[in-house]
Structure 1
């Protein structure tokens, strides 16, 4: 069954730019006003704190984020993560649409397998993200 949500080509291009050239480390996606197309809201090279600052407190968003970290053994690693941002103040219609959009985006972005959902900024704390990602195979 189709969700009725499509992914704009610029979304895929932005992902490949993040994945390949690494000139950016974050792509923030949003749904169009009609909630039927995933589009790029911004793409940038942001610190973790700056990333948290660009997330709206009342609207859902999807973020692809290049997360560098060190393992408990001291090995440097990095993962590209899809974060579904569902703040409490976002409406239920938006949350449902963004849940569908996250599945469509995961299918469209080849090589993206780690998906984290968050409703508060504390759930996106750097150390908390790293602990969730480091546990992934």
Structure 2
């Protein structure tokens, strides 16, 4: 189904892979990109991959969407996890790309049932591990 705001369709694989991340913890992260008027899965991160591995898959000058399964310990040392949705939109990306990603984001996010926290980032410091930790609690 196309996104009314931007005309963007969401490939079925996006929802299927997100469901596997959410229910089976099959992936640490998923990077999505817009290609030929639809949102597709670009990269699946294995469960053992780190936050640093995840960051290497976000291009320095192109927009992307991503979900990241963040594990952490509460103040009581209880292990928990939160699923973050990241709208990656670097300042150096093209204006048209920024507009397309911005207009498609909310609808796409609604397709991924189970997102707990949203981050918008234009550079790596806006989505550092410290930001994840402070938003997760």
Q: Scaled by the length of structure 2, what TM-score is found?
A: 0.89
Give 3-state SS (helix, strand or coil) of 1:43's partner.
Answer: strand
Match of 1:55 in 2: 58
- 1:114 corresponds to 2:117: yes
Match of 1:79 in 2: 82
After TM superposition, list the pairs within 5 Å mapping 1:1-137 onto structure 2.
2-3=4-5, 4-32=7-35, 34=36, 36-45=37-46, 46-134=49-137
Give 3-state SS (helix, strand or coil) of 2:130's partner.
Answer: helix
Instruction: After TM superposition, give the deviation of residue 133 of structure 1 in Å.
Output: 2.6
Partners of 2:45 and 2:54 within 8 A in 1: no
Partners of 2:121 and 2:127 within 8 A in 1: yes
Distance 1:91 1:12 in 2: 27
Give 3-state SS (helix, strand or coil) of 2:103's partner.
Answer: helix
Deviates more, 1:103-112 or 1:23-32: 103-112
Q: Scaled by the length of structure 1, what TM-score is found?
A: 0.89
Flag structure 2 segments of 5+ consecutive residues without an equivalent.
none
Give 3-state SS (helix, strand or coil) of 1:16's partner.
Answer: helix
RMSD: 1.5
